[in-house]
Amino acid sequence: MTTVTVPNELLAIEDWDALEETDANRYWELVDGTIIMNSFPTAGHQFVAHRLVNLLDAQLPEGLVALQHLGLTIEARFPPTVRGPDVVVFSRAQVKLDVARIDPADVQLVVEVVSPGSRRTDRIAKVADYQYAGIPAYWIIDPAAAEGDAFVAYELAGGAYKEVARGSGVITLERPFPVTIDVGALLTLD
């Protein structure tokens, strides 16, 4: 068993960067200088996120890439916040830089696949964080939600997110780039 020593003070971004990963069964975020420990996503959760990355890659315009589980700096100033969205669509140029975290200015879309323990965080706290960071689009995919709530898309307008799509069928969006998502097929685990 790995023992993790949690600091008893708020961390600066440099402190966060200096921490080593200590538990492969957990995944960590930094929220207002405080370490937040989450369970590592289940196989079904990761399958949905992986399938979404493949679907996005086939439709993304040149210069953008979709990847899973990257750090996203929401606020670098003290006390910092670093989130770990399930899927991030960002400028391909950042891949060449091999950065530790993605800057929100380079991000077009973040996606959270909801787990039983993340429902409130994904639907409330992360909406506020991604909106604050100026991320143009945020999607929530909830495999356990009622059929009409399995997919929700937000678009940043005037500094606030507005809902632009919701459902479980085929959804077509024009922003932040043209894309069509078959939500039912995305969530089918066979």
The string of pLDDT tens digits covering residues 111-132 is 999 988 778 888 888 999 999 9
What does the angle CA 135 – CA 85 – CA 157 come to, to the nearest 5 degrees? 20
pLDDT tens digits, one per residue of 151-180: 999 999 999 999 999 999 999 999 999 999
Position 154 in a domain = yes
pTM higher than 0.95 for the full model? Answer: no
Task: Count how many domains the chain has.
Answer: 1
Please report, for the domain that includes residue 137, its CATH number: 3.90.1570.10
Average pLDDT over residues 81-108: 89
Position 33 in a domain = no
Position 8 in a domain = no
Position 4 in a domain = no
Position 66 in a domain = yes
Position 22 in a domain = no
pLDDT, residue 121, reads 80
User: Residue 66's domain spans which residues?
Assistant: 41-187
Spatial separation of the C-alpha atoms in residues 55 and 186, rounded to whole Å:
9
Cα 35 to Cα 57, 59, 79, 88, 147, distances in angstroms:
32, 35, 11, 21, 34
Mean pLDDT score across all residues of the chain:
88
Position 32 in a domain = no
Position 35 in a domain = no
pLDDT, residue 48, reads 94
